[in-house]
Structure 1
């Protein structure tokens, strides 16, 4: 196995030989063998072990074993203890998911703080097959069937081509010792059920199952590349605007393809959506209709779909107490959720813009209030006779939904002084009778 591993590294991971690596090690056979192989190839590496404190003395014995292995291989060892059950309860997730999140978060933090180039995990061919079957039984798209990636950012998995049987044979031949996790024999978890009850049957039907599976993965990954290329082409045509708060897509581009639902799924699957029929229905929905996930919102706006992050919407509660006193105006600037408001007395009137207005300072009554606009708000747009509802003004300005939702107004005694980022109010404008001019600017 050593020669095969060496050839695999030279072909697929040559950069690991001159990198600073940290091996995620549990004490089980897979990660221990990976450590020994890397030691044989003179890799520069350290060991990182997570003690999840789930198996009492057994967890502590695993930790002691890893420390001893570090001494044996003459490499540095990092240990982190977790209260996994408390984390799972606080984050309302399974123990397995909690352990995964804690493990990878710590590995990432460790690599960043100590300048490790790559995190090496000991996933192998059988793990890959089990993951495929888990995703298959739960229902998934193409990406869920393409297997565990060999390299994902700075996480490398150099044992993926090797089976559990090959790894075990090498460990026994080299007289390598390891720790057995008795929980791996339990049928409590789906992965273990598949490992002990399903995979052996499949291997009995096809003794070359893992080889066949590797070929299947290669074909699926080739297909995934084609899908990605087609998806990128549609995205390039469909996306009309993109910034940190939203992405705008042309509905017509989705209607042109043969299977809009498939493209919508691939385009938006990473944003947490699950009601795919509702997403498809947005293509023919009225303006204002939307679908939400736990993190994002997809809104139909005229001939567009607009994707926004739910957290990008302003929190009205955070603005409810944002009052600006006379002393704030004298100081000259106030930090707000949308930027800094600057106040400065001006010697002469200049043209108002969307981010800068001039008002009659003596007409202002303090405190001024900065808040989100509300249904029923009206103002007197400067340069126009009469009043207008803010909602109608925003509609006429053809703002997209996220811009409407995040629009603020600056008021004095509940009278709108400025629709921030838009028009000022005629009642506070500078006239021939104005003695003091106040410039208000948003940056």
Structure 2
């Protein structure tokens, strides 16, 4: 399998060679095999382990196991601990989603502070199949069936070409030691139910089910790519942008052989879900409309028009002076000088103080606000898109505050820091900003 894996890396991830790689390592069989493979191939790696404190002493045994392994192999290791349950309660998230948020935020911090190039996770072919079935069971569009991406920004998943069976066989042949997560035996989670009960049935019916699935998913990915290309081309013929609204020409729309599919692709990102009502708008009388959380779709004569909802709220701004140590209204913030970086979270950020322009401003988000999310190499993102990705409710969005320097967003408080104010090698004055209870 080592040769197969090496060829897979050379063909699909040639850019990893010579780079500094951060391997997300839980201590389980998948991540320990991944570490072993990259050590055998002499890549420059380090290990990153998160202790979410979800399984009592078992979580700390996992942490000790990873630390001891790294020491024995002389591999750099980074360890952090999170109270995942408390974080989940604070942000009204499931424990799994909370753990994922904490994990990836920390990974991106490590990439920047420790100068690593990529994060590698140990998702494999069976994980991909399970994700497909989860999305299928919940109802999904084509995108939900195309699987876990092999690359997502700076996150790489090099084991997707390997099955669970191949990983287990490799571990056995190469005496790879690992820790078994006791929660994997529970049917509490849908993923485990699929893994324990549904997949064995499929594989019993068809011993080559995994191979057949991978072939099907390749077809789906190719189809998704074609759909995306067609959607962009047709959009240019049917749609026009006017300030904050988008107009779809109904006469041109009706010429399409399957305009409902195009409407789904175009409107899905605006949070619409009442698809039957949307499709009926095409034939409805002028003035009819359908709402999502942030937008409305209006039938106006020969056009369907997407416009943002006017969320009426008082424009509030609070100013923070340079020597101010704390803020108590509208939320509690503490400002401290720091000598070095310490543990970061959604409630704590570190910024280069010399990049700030005072007074700082606390305000609500406004339509059109953009920032450069930490870890995305300077790419801009709309705050509204961030809220969508975070799956915030309307109330949560209204209660979210921005910390701003001049006209630039420093921090979407409690969610994401801006890239432009990060700590760099040349930083002389570090400012620690904490969101307090």
Fold agreement, TM-score > 0.5: yes
Q: What is the CA–CA distance in structure 2 between the aligned matches of 1:47 and 1:303, rounded to whole Å?
A: 58
Alpha-carbon separation, structure 2, partners of 1:295 and 1:48: 38
Deviation at 1:43, TM superposition (A): 1.4
Pair member with larger Rg: 1
Deviation at 1:60, TM superposition (A): 1.0
Q: Is the 8 A contact 1:29 1:178 kept in 2?
A: yes
Q: 1:87 to 1:303 in 2, by over 3 A?
A: farther
Cα gap change, 1:302/1:110 in structure 2, threshold over 3 Å: closer, same or farther?
Answer: farther
Partner SS for 2:93: coil
Shift of 1:302: 4.8
SS in 1 for 2:140: coil
The Cα of 1:104 is off from its aligned counterpart by 2.2
Residue 438 of structure 1 corresponds to: none
TM-score by length of 1: 0.67
Give 1:186's aligned residue: 186
Counterpart Cα distance in 1 of 2:287 and 2:80: 49
Higher RCO, Cα 8 Å, sep 6+: 2
Residue number in structure 2 paired with 1:326: none
Partner of 2:387: none
2:39 and 2:317 map into 1 onto residues whose CA distance is: 61
Structure-2 residue corresponding to 1:28: 28
Cα distance in 2 for partners of 1:37, 1:55 equals 28
Q: Is the 8 A contact 1:111 1:117 kept in 2?
A: yes
Instruction: Flag the 1:306–1:19 CA change in 2: closer, same or farther, 3 A.
Output: farther
Counterpart of 1:216 in structure 2 is 216
SS of residue in 2 equivalent to 1:21: strand
1:318 alignment partner, SS class: coil
Deviation per residue, 1:380-406 (Å, 9 max, x gap): xxxxxxxxxxxxxxxxxxxxxxxxxxx
For residues 118-164 of structure 1, the C-alpha deviation after alignment (integer angstroms, 9 at most, x for no partner) is 21111111111111111111111111111111112221111101111
CA distance in 1, matches of 2:23, 2:295: 35
Q: Displacement of 1:41 after TM fit? A: 1.5
For the residue of structure 1 that corresponds to 2:187, the secondary structure is coil
Q: 2:31 aligned with 1:49, yes or no?
A: no
2:75 corresponds to: 75
Measured after TM superposition, the shift of residue 39 of structure 1 is: 1.4
> Partners in 2 of 1:75 and 1:224 — Cα distance?
40
Q: Is the 8 A contact 1:234 1:253 kept in 2?
A: no
1:84 aligned residue: 84
Is 2:268 aligned against 1:269? yes
**TM-score with structure 2 setting the length:** 0.68
Provide closer, same or farther for how the CA distance between residues 70 and 272 of structure 1 changes in structure 2, counting only shifts above 3 A: farther
SS at match of 1:176: coil
Pairing partner for 2:314 from 284, 300, 317? 317
RMSD: 2.7
Question: What are the ranges of 5 or more consecutive residues in structure 1 without an aligned counterpart?
Answer: 322-334, 339-443
1:126 lines up with 2:126 in the alignment: yes
After superposing the two structures, state which structure 1 stretch, 72-81 or 212-221, moved more. Answer: 72-81
Q: Which runs of 4+ in 1 moved over 6 A?
A: 335-338
Distance in 2, matches of 1:110 and 1:287, equals 54
Unaligned 5+ segments in structure 2 are 319-360, 367-437
CA–CA distance in structure 2, aligned partners of residues 308 and 93 of structure 1: 29
